[in-house]
Amino acid sequence: MGYSPRRLKRLLKEAGFNEITRFHNNRKRLFANSPREIAAHVAEPLVYRALGLFWTQTWLRATAP
């Protein structure tokens, strides 16, 4: 399936990249004040933790030396 984010981060460090940041690009949303949106906002971290083993959309950003 590919590398885990931790392993990929280590490989990037070994290749000479620095300032490696790990982030989830899908958590940067703007929510409205409707009850449905508030419920989705509160439930989102729980859902991502429950599906963490299957949800592989983690991004790494690194700067080259």
pLDDT at residue 56 in the model: 59
Number of domains in the chain: 1
The boundaries of the domain holding residue 17 are 5-63
Decide: 58 and 17 in contact? Cβ < 8 Å. Answer: no
Decide: 50 and 2 in contact? Cβ < 8 Å. Answer: no
Structure confidence by residue, pLDDT tens digits, 16-27: 988 888 776 555
Token reading at 22: 């790990």
pTM for this one?
0.47
- The CA dihedral of 14, 17, 22, 25, to the nearest 10 degrees, is -130
Structure confidence by residue, pLDDT tens digits, 5-50: 788 888 889 999 888 887 765 555 666 788 888 888 888 878 777 8
